[in-house]
Structure 1
Amino acid sequence: MTRTVIERLGHLGDGVGPGPVFAPRTLPGEVVEGELDGSRISVPRIVTPSDRRIAPACRHYRSCGGCALQHADGGFVAAWKQNIVERALAAQGIAATFRPMAISPPRSRRRATFSGRRTKKGALVGFHAPGSDTITPVLDCNLVTPQLSAALPMLTALTMVGAARKGELALTVTETRTGLDVAVTGGKTLNQTQTAALVTSMAGAGVARLSWDGEIVAQQAEPLVNFAGFDVPMPPGAFLQATVEGEAALRSAMRDCIGASTSVIDLFAGCGTFALPLCESKPVHAVEADGTMLDALDQGWRRAGGLHMLSTERRDLFRNPLLPDELDRFDAIVIDPPRAGAQAQMAQIAKSEVPVIAAISCNPVTFAVDAKMLIQAGYRLDWVQVVDQFRWSPHVELVARLIKDHIAR
């Protein structure tokens, strides 16, 4: 039996004691004990609790690995998430001014990936238990929207039909304006009878579309997502911000970044989360590597009608970043890269004379590296806003405004 005092939380939300010793779901200042497996106490007993500890809101919390931080009060979690960004920036020698954090409410995740596995008596659908491949059913999840929770019986029926005996399905469910978009991967090859059974399983469950390992099995309605009043047809598996509230916060901060800019280039534009609403007031050039997402954006723009010009470009910005002379045609850049960051593209932005950048990131570490490159080239980090749309998880997103003072308007 090992006893330790938790000194801080690591980047995955685990408590860290001297050694280091890691203990999940603990808080700084707590005395904990348990059996040590390598450097980890997998099932810590809280000897002396922190005054920031609260009772988890969800009855599944102990057995489900979907959330890591329901045992801490909201003020602690918010401060810890902002500190993650502060420490990432400090590691690159950067200080920042922070705007107030935006936090999505409970039961607001409109997109989630559930795991499904057949059993001898039926099937299980839910999230994995902490550090385990055991699936925990989550019939009244505090994280996802009520519509996603209500889909669990239908997902269980799909699993019974389409999961291999020893395999596991990944069931990605997205709530759209016209119904649920269900994308399943890891299933067995379907025959005609099984396909018909899947269609029967989704009847009455509000499913707009079902795709199976990339192939559309059934579509009752076109899945439409709404970006600030503009409907866009969603391709199967396309990226979408996790919550409506988080998306709105990111978009609002982005607008504050670019201000009165008159021409914008949107890099890693996706289906148009930022580009399409911006077309209300200014022309936008959207760049994205995925052609299906660009097509969806173009369709959304054409359906809306009456917007400013939208031009699109399919381009791999990792292998073929835009060059300074291409960027300098615009007076603002919106860039929302994946978790790996956008080092190649940022290197070219650093050489440009674009006066203002709205940088959106889901990885503070790669953002800090990219920001340092821009700052060394003459940009200034004006402010940062943390957006927490992955409530109770260690995941952090942010929007940052970077400007060149001598040319920014």
Structure 2
Amino acid sequence: SLRAVEKELLPGFHQFEWQPPLRNVSTSCSVGIINGLSGWTSSVDDFPADTITRRFRYDVAIVSALKDLEEDILEGLRYNGLEDSTCTSGFSILIKESCDGMGDVSEKHGGGPLVPEKAVRFSFTIMSVSVKAEGEKVKVIFTEPKPNSELSCKPLSLMFVDESDHETLTAIMSPIIAERDAMKDSRLIVTIGGLPRSFRIHFRGTGYDEKMVREMEGLEAAGSTYICTLCDSSRVEASANMVLHSITRSHDENLERYEIWRTNPFSESVDELRDRVKGVSAKAFMETHPTLDALHCEIGIATEFYKIFQDEIGEVYRQGNATREERRGWRAALDKQLRKSMKIKPVMRMNGNYARRLMSLEAVELVCELVPTEERREALRELM
């Protein structure tokens, strides 16, 4: 058999250990149709055709990603003037987790019935590695330069399941979540630069869209009167108060609220109960950190301004309610102007590229050409 030194040289083989050892984490990673055999196979290749998910063990995947960064980490230590041999503990890794449906991945022109095959992909990115040497401040020794690139985003699990199918999704993801929870309370010991070093791992689930956040945190689906995944605001409250909001929802609170929803301790009616739990009606099964990223901010702003531009072209402030035909005319004029001068094609759904180009000074000047009065043009330029 190979010696430890020789094993280290094998691609993808990295020795590591956990202190304390990870609790209740299975070593097997192939998950078959969930039937109790749990993907039992005699060799790697003959996994059964009815496998619905393939995944890496989370800790193995993290170690593999960490070993890829080995040189960057050592470089970071040297750059910060930290003595390589003294820094063996106090490292922490910040991991961004992402999960999204991939839509329909069925073969488009094979024979057979048209069943939509939906897939969901769960992946993670090592965002940064920092170290706290004794008596020193925390120093960041590695930061992922392209955190949103698909190259830095390591796949962990691929599931043939519709992201709306809550039951199957939770069943498949539960081992990932168990591994994640076990890793939070343990230290990873892995050799970096020839010395064993100990790492603590911090997870941040920020790579989820709103649909997935609602799914994982047990909130009502999109279109719910509770419109926000960050606070308890309802549609009515939000339209009355546009300014003062703070982030109040949390994973633990969602779990507590689900218990209230389940047990109804105050024997309230459905409506009262729903108001008490603010729309939490399923058990939150994974902690997420919902955020609003710059891209969606831009899309939101541009969507609003696209409407404002149309209203200004049609001078809505003078007449108020316009017919649908008139509005269509203003929109057509705006689209035509943008297409003619900036080569921006109209889009069905606002996307990032369109949003950025629409919010440029060039676009505003073009819109101003269509706005009839000078004072409104000035106002529009100022607003932009």
- TM class by shorter chain equals under 0.3
The TM-score normalised by the length of structure 1 is 0.27
Q: Is the radius of gyration larger for structure 1 or structure 2?
A: 2
